[in-house]
Amino acid sequence: DLFRKSGIEDKYELTRLAIRRIRQLVKEKDKRALEDTHEKLPILVLKEIAEGKLKPESLEEESQEKETPPSTEK
């Protein structure tokens, strides 16, 4: 069911998506996502995936935006 909702067929790709999201939460210290729950991060992230809140494209877009250095034109 989690595979169907995430749109990912490969269990390893699903694992990579979850790990990237966990790292993102830890790095950003997204307190809003963590304040409302006493669940551990892996459970929280898997619920996000199951609810359709997290897609592979969303994390890829965010990582590309962060990797692209800002333009310093004068």
Give the number of other CB atoms < 10 A from CB of residue 33.
16
- pLDDT per residue, tens digit, the chain (74 aa), is 777 777 788 889 889 989 998 888 888 775 665 565 677 888 888 888 888 888 777 666 665 555 555 555 55
Is there a domain that residue 72 lies in? no
For the chain, what is the domain count?
1
Domain that holds residue 37: 2-67
In a domain, 43, yes or no: yes
* H helix runs in 1-74, sequence order: 2-6, 11-28, 31-35, 41-50, 56-67
Is 51 a member of any domain?
A: yes
Task: Give the span between the Cα atoms of 66 and 46, in whole angstroms.
Answer: 24
